[in-house]
Structure 1
Amino acid sequence: MPLTLTLFGPFEARYNDTIIPEFTVEKIIALFAYLALEPGKAHRRETLAALLWPDYPNETALRNLRQSVYRLRQILETYDPALPDTLFTQTRQTITLHSDALTLDTAQFTAGVQQPPTPATLTQLATLYRGELLTGLSLPDAYAFDEWLNIQREIFHQQAIESLSRLLALSENQPDTVLALAPRLLALEPWHEETHRQIMRAHLRNGNRSLALAQFQDLKTLLARELGVEPAPATLALSHQILTAAPTDEPAIESISAPLQNFPAAHTPFIGREPDLETLTRLLHDPACRVLTLTGPGGMGKTRLGIETARRLSTRPNRFPDGMVFIPLAQIEHGGLLASTLAQTLRIPLQGRADPRLDLLASLKSRRLLLVLDNFEHLLQPSSDNSPPPAISLLVEILNEAPGVAFLVTSRETLTLQAESVFPVEALPFPRDPVPEASAHAEVANTEAPLAFPAAQLFIQTARRHRPSFNPPAFTQDILTICRLTNGLPLALEMAAAWMRVYDCTEIVQQLTQSLDFLTNPYRDAPPRQRSIRAVFAASWEQLTAEQRRTLAALSVFRGGFTVQAALAVAQTSVLDLAALVEKSFIHRAGEGRYEIHELLRQFAAEHLPDPDAVHARHAAFYLTHLATQTPGLNGPTPQETLATLRRDLDNLRQSWQWAVSHAEVKLIAQGMDGLTQLTMLNGTNQEGETALAQALAALTTATPDHLAVRSLLSSYLAWLRIGLGKNQVAAENIQAALALSEQAQDATSRAYALSIDGWLAQTQGRFSDAESALREAITLFEQTNNPLQRSLALIRLGSIDWRRGDFENALAYYLQSLALEQSLNNKRGLTRAYGGIGLAYFNLGKFDDALAYLGQALQLDRELGNQPGVSRHLGNMGTTYMQKGNYPEALACFHEARTMAQKAQNKNELAIWLGNIALILLAQTEYAEALRYFDDAIQMQKETGDRFNLCETLLGKAEIYLIQGRDAQPLLEEGARLSDDIQRKDTQLRAHLLQARALAQIGTPAAAHSLLESTLEHFPDPESQARIFYERWKIEGRPEDAQRAQAHYQTCVARVPKIEYKTRLAEIQQTL
């Protein structure tokens, strides 16, 4: 094919063997490479957009995708105009790349891997793999793509290592070939000891003993420097052999296959865990790995993974020519029987000695075996004299006496040996977050459909054995819920799926949420301790000391993980007991200094909690104190770090709040309410916060002054959230209650909060005098109580009143005062509010570029902070600025992104504003039908929320379309005019008069229109209003003198505020005159 892509190493594209240099943008390279590596597949555009632009709203991400695809096609068209259509099939929903239209090195490599491993094929694979997949490419802002790329890199990397290893094994008797190939493998994995040994043997075969020993020294230096370890015993033995070998001696070649002995047959398919298998086989391939322990709770699938690892290893070149032996240990009563069990399984004849270990060690000394020891944990009980467990002593003796023997162990507890490598076996992957119904059957960001996750696949395949007619897509949401309820535990998934013979998926979900006892094993051949999840956990529970049981039960109160500090405070335990629970696989490390407990195991442990109220009380006290301590950081220089810290414990915070509320713990509620409110708003979950605060308010009924002040503040915070949800009427009731409670308590702090929020609500309703009075008193009280943070916010709200009144210079002064306070506090969140207000003031003063600069600063800060409501607000205001500049595409992009964010946050107030603004642009573009749809949605929401300030503008916008279409606009005009008069909004009062004059002219009463405009001229003497009035009269009556007067006024307006409306009308008049 003329088009060739090289993905191994740095990305390179060639056409007719000429490099295409235009590929310089990483996102375009990433998109092209992703499609090329997934050929023939119809990729949904939403999936690709989410993959490459995950933090962007859907509309913006899709726009970025369209631009990238367009640029990609442009580049290809430069070399062949027909190439893009040959290479891609594009629809409005999907993009597909056709692999037969190009030559791709990764496709050739994959095809070669699937061929029999002949020397020719392996040589071709070694040639194709010229470096890491897409070397140097990284997209930090596209975490899903980076994760996918890392997985692809690891797969190809391991395939390259395996191919080179096989080629080296086949070339063992060709030392020159080995010496040519081995450095390439070492470039991929420098500490791969087997390769170093192959080089040593090749040099020896060539008669270069000194080079062989030099290679050993290089390896020894490398391991000491990079890993801090000595070479493996096999390497040391080879170096000794080289030192002492006669010139004709050759070290033995390692086995390419190994027999499996005593392994149970697999009755069910093995699902998932491919990366685990690759990692484990790689570890066992290294002679330095003598003991590899698979740890994890019961039911995690350790045994099956161990068996499949041995099977995989047996098909590859390995170091166990004497085979691999599976040895089940569950039925052994104590560690003293391990030696005889091993001897019996390995068919080692015993000589009748008192200690069978002697015969066992003598037989194993010269053998090269992998012993798979299954279910070792019960053999770890210490001896009565505190000496090591007998089973451990035997393993240590074998390790010392038999250098060719290695162990693959499954155990719920680590062995704690110096030679041990530990591999924690984790739950099967599943979608952690709920999948929206609309996308339940679509691709997700990691390129897998939800039901393709291993946990879901295990459930589905087990369910089909019990109900062959089972149709999984019909139960997608239920299956994913089952995966989450079982937390991906394989045994639990199989037990749940077995109930498909009786229940459907929905009923299984209901049963799972009711009792742990639902999870039982129906199979008669199941081991006794795996007959139910409860039996599995009970067997592990018995291995704990009394103190460890008490600790685990106390840890069951945590949700979503915990830190060591939290565990010590809440469970009142020690670090040693926590470490013991980690070693025994009851809890596991989850990164960032956190620990987690499997959900089903947590439920089991919770049943054994003797004094739940005391532990829950400590839990609530710890986390609500933690929340109060962290809250100031939300209004400091690094709020995003504080927010990330709190989000990690969101489930614990929820539970703590619920406990405090249910027990009416006033002090704890008082500690947490400010932080809870701010956290809820920053997370965009106002509705959840509303419920939490309302429940707290209902729980507190005491009337002491302290309690009254807390209830007042709760009412104010509740009003704050409800205003954001558009529930203005009930918010007003909360504010009045807050004011009354603060009056009873004689508390200045709670009164200041209530007044500030009262002023905010009043100004949105157009009650400017009431708003100003409330905010001025609030500012005074915030000064008296030394609360500069809330004082700054009140100044912003006071500035908004003047802004809405049209006094933009005064509004700017308030915003600048707020900016000074926020700068002194180093409060990034406050800075965004101040920048946003200043930007709005400059917009209305006609300084559009200054406005965009300040709004841009606010937007950038809020994006950094992850403040979604702020991002939405700034986008909307930038959209308004772009709209007045006449840049409609940018304006629409801003409005649509802001609309999406407001919808997600359920902020009806802002959502209605952005819908109305989109409608205004569509009106300017004469898209009347679409504009009406947006106007109608905005009007409905503004009536629901009581947003009269914006409702009057929306009503008049719809009325203007009705006039253009010749429809009856009078009811809309009358309602819009009445509202404008009620709230004294001058710009919409003027617009209502102009549209009413136009309506009068249309129904054949030009005299009445003329009279109305004459009256309007008297009431609106400013140049902007005069320009609009004379323009409207010129359009109705056609008099040149009106056009000339409008022209003069518009010239003044354009010089002061260069709005697109002024410029357009001025140009129209000048062209006519």
Structure 2
Amino acid sequence: MPAPLTLPRWAANVWPLERPAAQPYRALPVHASRFIGRQRELAEVGRLVGRSRLVTLTGAAGSGKTRLALEVAAWAPRKRDGPCLVELASLSEAGLLPHAFASALEIREVQARPVLDTLQERLAGYEGLIVVDNCEHLVEACAELVDRLLRHCPGLTVLATSREPLHVDGEVAWQVPTFSLPQDGASMRDTMRAESVVLFVERARQTARQFEITASNAVQVAAICRRLDGLPLAIELAAARVAVLDLSSIGEQLDDRFRFLTGGLRTAPQRQRTLRAAVDWSYDLLTTAERQLFDRLSVFAGGFEAAGARAVCPGGSVLVSQVEDLLGHLIDKSLVVAVDLVAEPRRYRMLETLRAYGVERIRQEGQLEIYARRHAEYLDSLSGPSVIGWEGAEWLLRMQREVDNLREALSWSRGADRNLHLRLAAAYGWLCMRSGFIGEGRTWLEPALERGGQGPALLAQANLAMAFLAWRQSDFNGADRFASDAVRIRRELGDDMNLGWTIGALAFVRIGGTSSPRSAIDEQLSIAKRLGVRQMEAEALLHLGSFEAIAMDLDNALGHLSQSLALFEASGTEVIPPVVCNVLGWVLLMLHRPEEARPYVARGLLTRLKSHDVIDMCGSLDASAEVAFELGAPERAMRIKGASDAIRLRAGSKPTRMAAASRERWVSRAERALGKVAYSAWLEGGRLSPDAAGAYALAPLDQPSPHTGGDPNTTLSSRENQVAELVAGGLTNDEIAIRLQVSRRTVEAHLDHIRTKLGVRSRVDVANWVGAKSTPPAVSRS
């Protein structure tokens, strides 16, 4: 990758290589501190200023709008007039706005003539840039004045800063991002390159000259920057405390950041001397309804959809019918961010600093408990009623988006509402069981069950979720105990349909355990036939075939599993349970028929990929690995095993009995055949994302290993090409998310798709692919 380009070299086609010489007008202010990073932003805004006559920099309080605008103006191309700065922060009367412009531009007022007429006349021949700073508190007056001047002064260009757009014809609104953040687990080198870290270190050294970032403190600095959302003002205020507090103490104090982050420069505007003052400035400009919505949205953690805002936030001045409009106002005023402008349904979020401010306000109003309850009840309604928690991919994706909100609701409900807490913990348990964070799910659900709750159906559901979590951890006795409690409750309720499904779950967790599942299988089969439920009968036959496979009764297992698959297909169900295909594949492998096993295993894996069943995908990967080995691809088999092991390690799960038996059949043979290559292949597989691992396992056996690089002729979508080029430019996932105005998770999903299509493993491989196409990177790392 070429060496990073400096700003003047990079922007040579946009700006001169040297700042313009001094002009005979009031000069722009010069800052004593060094301008940190943002070379791409400087170039992009510079291009906008060159093409558009009105550019408005918007962004949250403390995001550095003013400093960026002044730096853009300083590097702007030389023109006859300007650049000049009009500062509005101290102006409180809209009627004085023309006077502020005239004073800043050194235009004398003419007696008995409206100053606006004089201003318009004098600027009619003006050729240059005017920076208008802090428009938000006079936004309507600013819009009218700027619109009039632009219409009558053809050589004028305006670069405004505001926490909301002016909404003037021809305006280009550009949101100033927060500083780039180091990713979790980033290397020392990458951590030190993040703009937020560079700013922290720079400002820390101003108060503690000996401060250095080292391998031992880099993680703490990165954590502080992440907790402060990369917000420049907040980072500067935190860094100023390095002279008196160690980094651990600073991190702890951020729990009360508005009390802690004070003591800005005495020469700074009053609103920038404390974090609270910066946010107060924005909050005070809101209407009563906007304030109420802002406060109530703070109960959401990690993001929300408009439907959630409608369900949780109405009351007082906030009408249900007004929620979307008010939400739009908060987005315009940089207090809420649209996470992904493409995804449906669209999600929104608040910077954590703004969210903490909202929580403080709603607590002071005495309404936190009201809206925290609404928030928890909304999440409870999203999870929906469930018998055994095997909802489809849509449910899983919806709940995965709400993980942070579910954790927040669980924390609140634990001491507020025992029944609501148990319902949430049960739903979260099912989510964890399918998404791969097994230990966390059990940590929430087990104590919730011990505290109990009202309603036998709820207790049955919670016990069943606990049974599967325990089974995932190979705690077969615990799984049997919880599932047996669920069956007992269902018997007492006298509901044969739910009893049949619950008995089936008991049979499932007993397969491979210490208790025989046979009686439970027979009872489920009897109930299914009596009720005429084909899917239940198919599930019972699946359990019977699995039990027989473990007992090595392979011919009967093959027969019953084939009957199960046929019944599922005949039942009209949209998705055949992938476990049927997987166990069928394993039985065929044990019968030494790998070619016949392969399509069944692939079918199950594809279903799990589509449904985002990350942890269940491990079983399909294990079967795929054995298929690859038996078909003469041992190195490929070790890579797939490495991917499966890595997923299980992150999830806190262990191989099932069938998976363990499969490994005993082939792993040692592969290791003997490959020697040291076996370990290298296993490591390579462990670095694959779940999606990339699944795609690799499904690919033809002769496909190159994921690390060999992609075909330059491979076609990516337009957005995937954008992401690939930004990766090649050296941007982190956070930086790409800001640049494309999408969420970090969306960027990660695009990267998974890119790596899958290219058959590569790392960001370096993606960058090499971009280079092989001879497509220049969209940006260069500063």
Q: Is the CA contact 1:788–1:821 (under 8 Å) kept in the aligned structure 2?
A: yes
CA distance in 1, matches of 2:568, 2:506: 22
Q: Is the CA contact 1:829–1:862 (under 8 Å) kept in the aligned structure 2?
A: no
Structure 2 partner of 1:411: 162
Aligned pair partner of 1:377 in 136, 145, 165: 136
Aligned pair partner of 2:563 in 792, 803, 817: 817
How far 1:491 moved relative to its partner? 0.4
Aligned pair partner of 1:531 in 273, 287, 294: 273
Distance 1:816 1:366, change over 3 A: same
**Cα displacement string for residues 295-354 of structure 1 (whole angstroms, at most 9, x for unaligned residues):** 1221111101111111121xx3x6x42121012111112121121222122111222235
Structure 2 partner of 1:1026: none
Structure 1 partner of 2:711: none
Aligned pairs, number: 660
How far 1:565 moved relative to its partner? 1.9
Q: Is the CA contact 1:485–1:599 (under 8 Å) kept in the aligned structure 2?
A: yes
Distance 1:416 1:634, change over 3 A: farther
Q: Is the CA contact 1:440–1:477 (under 8 Å) kept in the aligned structure 2?
A: no
CA distance in 2, matches of 1:785, 1:372: 76
CA distance in 2, matches of 1:257, 1:282: 21
Return the structure number with greater relative CO, CA threshold 8 A, min gap 6.
Answer: 2
Q: Is the CA contact 1:562–1:596 (under 8 Å) kept in the aligned structure 2?
A: yes
CA root-mean-square deviation? 3.4
Structure 2 partner of 1:44: none
Aligned residue type for 1:265: V
Aligned pair partner of 2:174 in 408, 423, 426: 423
1:462 aligns with 2:208: no
Q: Is the CA contact 1:738–1:750 (under 8 Å) kept in the aligned structure 2?
A: no
Aligned residue type for 2:408: Q
**Cα displacement string for residues 782-806 of structure 1 (whole angstroms, at most 9, x for unaligned residues):** 5667876565444322211111122
Structure 2 partner of 1:332: 91
CA distance in 2, matches of 1:804, 1:825: 27
Q: Is the CA contact 1:624–1:656 (under 8 Å) kept in the aligned structure 2?
A: no
1:400 aligns with 2:159: no
Q: Is the CA contact 2:63–2:177 (under 8 Å) kept in the aligned structure 1?
A: yes
CA distance in 2, matches of 1:307, 1:526: 15
Aligned residue type for 2:464: S
Distance 1:404 1:889, change over 3 A: closer
**Cα displacement string for residues 1-50 of structure 1 (whole angstroms, at most 9, x for unaligned residues):** xxxxxxxxxxxxxxxxxxxxxxxxxxxxxxxxxxxx347xxxxxxxxxxx
Aligned residue type for 2:153: A
Aligned residue type for 1:650: V
Gaps of 5+ in 1: 1-36, 40-106, 116-154, 168-254, 381-388, 443-448, 935-1073
Q: 1:968-1007 counterparts in 2 under 5 A?
A: none
Structure 2 partner of 1:619: 375
Aligned residue type for 1:441: M
Structure 1 partner of 2:27: 262
Structure 2 partner of 1:342: 101
How far 1:518 moved relative to its partner? 0.9
Distance 1:114 1:620, change over 3 A: closer
Q: Is the CA contact 1:895–1:914 (under 8 Å) kept in the aligned structure 2?
A: no
Structure 1 partner of 2:761: none
Q: Is the CA contact 1:835–1:855 (under 8 Å) kept in the aligned structure 2?
A: yes
CA distance in 2, matches of 1:305, 1:808: 71
Structure 2 partner of 1:680: 432
Distance 1:759 1:922, change over 3 A: same
**Cα displacement string for residues 723-746 of structure 1 (whole angstroms, at most 9, x for unaligned residues):** 111222332332333334334444
Q: Is the CA contact 1:295–1:410 (under 8 Å) kept in the aligned structure 2?
A: yes
Aligned pair partner of 2:312 in 570, 580, 587: 570
Aligned pair partner of 1:851 in 597, 616, 619: 597
Q: 1:688-703 counterparts in 2 under 5 A?
A: 688-702=440-454
Structure 2 partner of 1:726: 474
**Cα displacement string for residues 1018-1055 of structure 1 (whole angstroms, at most 9, x for unaligned residues):** xxxxxxxxxxxxxxxxxxxxxxxxxxxxxxxxxxxxxx
Aligned pair partner of 1:589 in 338, 343, 347: 338
Q: Helix, strand or coil for the counterpart of 1:371?
A: strand
CA distance in 2, matches of 1:881, 1:742: 41
Q: Is the CA contact 1:294–1:306 (under 8 Å) kept in the aligned structure 2?
A: yes
CA distance in 2, matches of 1:631, 1:488: 44
1:833 aligns with 2:579: yes
Q: Helix, strand or coil for the counterpart of 1:309?
A: helix
Aligned pair partner of 2:188 in 441, 445, 459: 441
1:561 aligns with 2:303: yes
Aligned residue type for 2:196: A
Aligned residue type for 1:498: A
**Cα displacement string for residues 799-820 of structure 1 (whole angstroms, at most 9, x for unaligned residues):** 1111112222221233223323
Q: 1:173-212 counterparts in 2 under 5 A?
A: none
Distance 1:513 1:728, change over 3 A: farther
Deviates more, 1:481-490 or 1:875-884: 875-884
CA distance in 2, matches of 1:336, 1:577: 27
Q: Is the CA contact 2:442–2:469 (under 8 Å) kept in the aligned structure 1?
A: yes
CA distance in 1, matches of 2:425, 2:525: 22
Q: Helix, strand or coil for the counterpart of 1:495?
A: helix
CA distance in 2, matches of 1:525, 1:914: 70
How far 1:550 moved relative to its partner? 1.0
**Cα displacement string for residues 569-600 of structure 1 (whole angstroms, at most 9, x for unaligned residues):** 21114122222212222112222322221111
Q: Is the CA contact 2:258–2:276 (under 8 Å) kept in the aligned structure 1?
A: yes
Structure 1 partner of 2:227: 485
**Cα displacement string for residues 59-111 of structure 1 (whole angstroms, at most 9, x for unaligned residues):** xxxxxxxxxxxxxxxxxxxxxxxxxxxxxxxxxxxxxxxxxxxxxxxx9xx79
Q: Helix, strand or coil for the counterpart of 2:375?
A: helix
Structure 1 partner of 2:114: 355
Structure 2 partner of 1:521: 263
Aligned pair partner of 1:765 in 492, 513, 527: 513
Structure 2 partner of 1:713: 461
CA distance in 2, matches of 1:677, 1:794: 24
CA distance in 2, matches of 1:749, 1:804: 28
How far 1:748 moved relative to its partner? 3.9
Distance 1:629 1:311, change over 3 A: farther
Greater CA radius of gyration, 1 or 2?
A: 1
1:310 aligns with 2:64: no
Q: Is the CA contact 2:626–2:666 (under 8 Å) kept in the aligned structure 1?
A: no
CA distance in 2, matches of 1:509, 1:280: 34
**Cα displacement string for residues 453-492 of structure 1 (whole angstroms, at most 9, x for unaligned residues):** 1112211221122223223232122112112211111100
Deviates more, 1:622-631 or 1:644-653: 622-631
Aligned pair partner of 1:511 in 245, 253, 257: 253
Which structure: greater helix fraction? 1
Q: Helix, strand or coil for the counterpart of 1:718?
A: helix
Structure 1 partner of 2:40: 275
Q: Is the CA contact 1:895–1:918 (under 8 Å) kept in the aligned structure 2?
A: no
Q: Is the CA contact 2:562–2:584 (under 8 Å) kept in the aligned structure 1?
A: yes
**Cα displacement string for residues 987-1028 of structure 1 (whole angstroms, at most 9, x for unaligned residues):** xxxxxxxxxxxxxxxxxxxxxxxxxxxxxxxxxxxxxxxxxx
**Cα displacement string for residues 801-856 of structure 1 (whole angstroms, at most 9, x for unaligned residues):** 11112222221233223323443566676442221122122223332210123223
CA distance in 1, matches of 2:134, 2:349: 23
Q: Helix, strand or coil for the counterpart of 1:607?
A: helix
How far 1:537 moved relative to its partner? 1.2
Q: Structure 1-normalised TM-score?
A: 0.57
CA distance in 2, matches of 1:826, 1:261: 78
Structure 2 partner of 1:230: none
CA distance in 2, matches of 1:925, 1:399: 76
- What is the aligned-residue identity percentage? 25
CA distance in 2, matches of 1:493, 1:396: 36
How far 1:771 moved relative to its partner? 0.5
Aligned residue type for 1:850: E
